[in-house]
Amino acid sequence: MKTHDTDINLIKEILKGNKTAFRDLYKRYAKGHMLTCLRYVKNRAEAEDVLQESYIKIFKQLKSYDSTKSQFSTWSNRVVVNTCLMNLRKKNVLRDFDNIIDFNSKLTVDANAVDNLSLQDLTNFITQLPKGYRTVFNMYVIDGYKHPEIAEQLNIAVSTSKTQLMKARKMLQGMITSHDYSQSMNYVLR
Protein backbone atom coordinates (compact mmCIF):
# COMPACT_ATOMS: atom_id res chain seq x y z
CA MET A 1 0.00 0.00 0.00
CA LYS A 2 1.31 3.45 -0.88
CA THR A 3 2.44 5.79 1.90
CA HIS A 4 -0.30 8.35 1.16
CA ASP A 5 -3.01 5.67 1.29
CA THR A 6 -1.59 4.25 4.51
CA ASP A 7 -1.53 7.72 6.05
CA ILE A 8 -5.15 8.36 5.04
CA ASN A 9 -6.25 5.04 6.54
CA LEU A 10 -4.37 5.77 9.77
CA ILE A 11 -5.92 9.24 9.95
CA LYS A 12 -9.41 7.81 9.47
CA GLU A 13 -8.75 5.38 12.32
CA ILE A 14 -7.39 8.13 14.56
CA LEU A 15 -10.47 10.25 13.94
CA LYS A 16 -12.57 7.24 15.03
CA GLY A 17 -10.63 7.21 18.32
CA ASN A 18 -8.08 4.47 17.58
CA LYS A 19 -5.06 5.30 19.80
CA THR A 20 -2.91 2.59 18.21
CA ALA A 21 -3.31 4.27 14.83
CA PHE A 22 -1.98 7.55 16.26
CA ARG A 23 0.99 5.70 17.73
CA ASP A 24 1.63 4.13 14.30
CA LEU A 25 1.44 7.53 12.59
CA TYR A 26 3.78 8.96 15.20
CA LYS A 27 6.30 6.15 14.63
CA ARG A 28 6.24 6.81 10.88
CA TYR A 29 7.08 10.51 11.16
CA ALA A 30 8.52 11.35 14.59
CA LYS A 31 12.15 10.77 13.64
CA GLY A 32 11.98 13.15 10.66
CA HIS A 33 10.01 15.69 12.68
CA MET A 34 12.58 15.48 15.47
CA LEU A 35 15.32 16.30 12.95
CA THR A 36 13.27 19.33 11.90
CA CYS A 37 13.00 20.44 15.54
CA LEU A 38 16.74 19.98 16.04
CA ARG A 39 17.44 22.22 13.04
CA TYR A 40 15.58 25.05 14.74
CA VAL A 41 16.39 24.36 18.39
CA LYS A 42 19.93 23.48 19.52
CA ASN A 43 19.03 21.80 22.80
CA ARG A 44 17.76 18.22 22.44
CA ALA A 45 15.47 18.41 25.48
CA GLU A 46 13.87 21.58 24.12
CA ALA A 47 13.52 19.94 20.70
CA GLU A 48 11.74 16.99 22.34
CA ASP A 49 9.35 19.42 24.06
CA VAL A 50 8.67 21.17 20.75
CA LEU A 51 8.09 17.80 19.07
CA GLN A 52 5.59 16.82 21.76
CA GLU A 53 3.81 20.17 21.41
CA SER A 54 3.77 19.66 17.63
CA TYR A 55 2.10 16.26 17.95
CA ILE A 56 -0.53 17.69 20.27
CA LYS A 57 -1.29 20.28 17.56
CA ILE A 58 -1.24 17.63 14.83
CA PHE A 59 -3.72 15.55 16.81
CA LYS A 60 -6.01 18.52 17.50
CA GLN A 61 -5.87 19.75 13.89
CA LEU A 62 -6.03 16.35 12.21
CA LYS A 63 -9.69 16.73 11.25
CA SER A 64 -8.74 19.83 9.22
CA TYR A 65 -6.09 17.95 7.20
CA ASP A 66 -7.11 17.74 3.53
CA SER A 67 -5.43 14.86 1.71
CA THR A 68 -6.39 16.36 -1.68
CA LYS A 69 -4.24 19.44 -1.02
CA SER A 70 -1.04 17.86 0.30
CA GLN A 71 0.64 14.74 1.58
CA PHE A 72 0.37 14.22 5.33
CA SER A 73 4.16 14.48 5.59
CA THR A 74 4.09 17.97 4.06
CA TRP A 75 1.16 19.13 6.16
CA SER A 76 2.54 17.74 9.42
CA ASN A 77 6.00 19.17 8.74
CA ARG A 78 4.43 22.63 8.38
CA VAL A 79 2.80 22.14 11.78
CA VAL A 80 6.18 21.18 13.25
CA VAL A 81 7.99 24.14 11.64
CA ASN A 82 5.29 26.55 12.83
CA THR A 83 5.55 25.12 16.34
CA CYS A 84 9.32 25.61 16.25
CA LEU A 85 8.82 29.22 15.15
CA MET A 86 6.28 29.82 17.91
CA ASN A 87 8.78 28.42 20.41
CA LEU A 88 11.47 30.78 19.13
CA ARG A 89 9.05 33.73 19.29
CA LYS A 90 8.12 32.90 22.89
CA LYS A 91 11.78 33.12 23.80
CA ASN A 92 12.19 36.39 21.86
CA VAL A 93 14.88 34.77 19.73
CA LEU A 94 13.51 36.26 16.52
CA ARG A 95 12.92 39.81 17.74
CA ASP A 96 16.11 41.43 16.50
CA PHE A 97 17.56 39.95 13.32
CA ASP A 98 19.54 43.05 12.45
CA ASN A 99 21.75 42.77 15.54
CA ILE A 100 23.10 39.32 14.73
CA ILE A 101 26.89 39.32 14.54
CA ASP A 102 27.97 40.17 11.03
CA PHE A 103 30.37 37.59 9.63
CA ASN A 104 32.09 39.57 6.92
CA SER A 105 35.33 37.63 6.85
CA LYS A 106 36.56 36.81 3.39
CA LEU A 107 36.11 33.13 2.73
CA THR A 108 37.93 31.01 0.23
CA VAL A 109 35.67 28.05 -0.31
CA ASP A 110 36.57 24.88 -2.12
CA ALA A 111 33.72 24.28 -4.57
CA ASN A 112 33.82 20.56 -3.73
CA ALA A 113 33.86 21.10 0.03
CA VAL A 114 30.48 19.57 0.75
CA ASP A 115 30.18 16.66 -1.64
CA ASN A 116 30.67 13.87 0.96
CA LEU A 117 28.79 15.65 3.71
CA SER A 118 26.21 13.46 5.43
CA LEU A 119 22.78 14.73 6.48
CA GLN A 120 23.88 14.41 10.12
CA ASP A 121 27.00 16.49 9.44
CA LEU A 122 24.95 19.15 7.66
CA THR A 123 22.47 19.20 10.55
CA ASN A 124 25.35 19.63 13.01
CA PHE A 125 26.70 22.57 11.01
CA ILE A 126 23.25 24.17 10.73
CA THR A 127 22.76 23.99 14.50
CA GLN A 128 25.99 25.98 14.94
CA LEU A 129 24.59 28.95 13.01
CA PRO A 130 23.31 31.95 14.98
CA LYS A 131 19.56 31.52 15.55
CA GLY A 132 18.48 34.11 12.99
CA TYR A 133 20.67 32.66 10.24
CA ARG A 134 19.62 29.13 11.18
CA THR A 135 15.92 29.96 11.17
CA VAL A 136 15.93 31.63 7.75
CA PHE A 137 18.22 28.95 6.27
CA ASN A 138 15.95 26.15 7.54
CA MET A 139 12.79 27.84 6.35
CA TYR A 140 14.11 28.67 2.88
CA VAL A 141 16.46 25.81 1.97
CA ILE A 142 15.08 22.87 3.92
CA ASP A 143 11.39 23.64 4.43
CA GLY A 144 10.71 25.39 1.11
CA TYR A 145 9.34 28.72 2.29
CA LYS A 146 9.77 31.75 -0.01
CA HIS A 147 11.27 35.00 1.26
CA PRO A 148 7.90 36.82 1.47
CA GLU A 149 6.51 33.93 3.57
CA ILE A 150 9.57 33.97 5.83
CA ALA A 151 9.29 37.73 6.23
CA GLU A 152 5.64 37.44 7.20
CA GLN A 153 6.20 34.52 9.60
CA LEU A 154 9.16 36.18 11.34
CA ASN A 155 7.89 39.76 11.10
CA ILE A 156 11.00 40.94 9.23
CA ALA A 157 11.62 42.61 5.87
CA VAL A 158 12.04 40.44 2.77
CA SER A 159 15.49 41.97 2.33
CA THR A 160 16.42 40.89 5.87
CA SER A 161 15.38 37.33 5.03
CA LYS A 162 17.54 37.37 1.90
CA THR A 163 20.51 38.85 3.79
CA GLN A 164 20.21 36.30 6.60
CA LEU A 165 20.14 33.47 4.05
CA MET A 166 23.21 34.82 2.24
CA LYS A 167 25.13 35.16 5.51
CA ALA A 168 24.05 31.70 6.66
CA ARG A 169 25.31 30.15 3.42
CA LYS A 170 28.65 31.94 3.69
CA MET A 171 29.06 30.88 7.29
CA LEU A 172 28.16 27.26 6.48
CA GLN A 173 30.62 27.24 3.60
CA GLY A 174 33.34 28.43 5.94
CA MET A 175 32.48 25.81 8.57
CA ILE A 176 32.39 23.01 6.04
CA THR A 177 35.61 24.08 4.35
CA SER A 178 37.41 24.37 7.69
CA HIS A 179 36.42 20.78 8.48
CA ASP A 180 37.96 19.65 5.18
CA TYR A 181 34.95 17.84 3.75
CA SER A 182 34.70 17.03 0.09
CA GLN A 183 31.63 16.82 -2.15
CA SER A 184 27.94 16.13 -1.28
CA MET A 185 25.25 18.78 -0.94
CA ASN A 186 26.75 21.70 -2.90
CA TYR A 187 23.32 22.82 -4.15
CA VAL A 188 22.29 23.68 -0.58
CA LEU A 189 25.00 26.30 -0.30
CA ARG A 190 24.73 27.91 -3.74
Per-residue pLDDT at 140 exceeds 90: yes
Band of the pLDDT at 71, cuts 50, 70, 90?
A: very high
Rg from Cα positions in the chain:
18
Average pLDDT of 2-24?
Answer: 92
Q: Which residues pair with 183 in a beta bridge?
A: 115
Residue 33 CB partners (closer than 8 Å, separation 6+):
51, 54, 55, 76, 77, 80
Band of the pLDDT at 175, cuts 50, 70, 90?
A: confident
Here the CATH number for the domain that contains residue 111 is 1.10.10.10
Here the CATH number for the domain that contains residue 37 is 1.10.1740.10
Domain range holding 13?
3-90
Within this chain, do residues 82 and 137 fall inside the same structural domain, yes or no? no
Per-residue pLDDT at 35 exceeds 80: yes
- Global pTM reads 0.68
Domain count, the chain: 2
Residue 163 CB partners (closer than 8 Å, separation 6+):
none
Give the per-residue pLDDT at 187: 43
Domain endpoint, select from 41, 73, 90: 90
Which is more confidently placed, 109 or 154?
154
Average pLDDT of 92-114?
Answer: 44
Cα 87–chain centre separation: 13
Give the per-residue pLDDT at 54: 97
Give the per-residue pLDDT at 117: 61
Angle at which helices 19-40 and 72-90 cross, to 10°: 50
Residue 134 CB partners (closer than 8 Å, separation 6+):
39, 40, 126, 127, 168
pLDDT digits (tens, 9 = 90+) for 51-63: 999 999 999 999 9
Give the per-residue pLDDT at 94: 53
Domain endpoint, select from 67, 90, 113: 90
Within this chain, do residues 41 and 68 fall inside the same structural domain, yes or no? yes
Per-residue pLDDT at 46 exceeds 90: yes
Average pLDDT of 53-74?
Answer: 95
Give the per-residue pLDDT at 66: 94
Give the per-residue pLDDT at 185: 45
Within this chain, do residues 107 and 70 fall inside the same structural domain, yes or no? no
Dihedral angle computed from the Cα positions of residues 38, 124, 171 and 92, in that order, rounded to the nearest 10 degrees: 20
Report the alpha-carbon distance of residue 53 to residue 80 in Å, rounded.
9
Average pLDDT of 144-152?
Answer: 93
Asked whether the beta carbons of 11 and 62 are under 8 A apart, the reply is yes
Sign of torsion over alpha carbons 166, 167, 173, 176: negative
Per-residue pLDDT at 111 exceeds 60: no
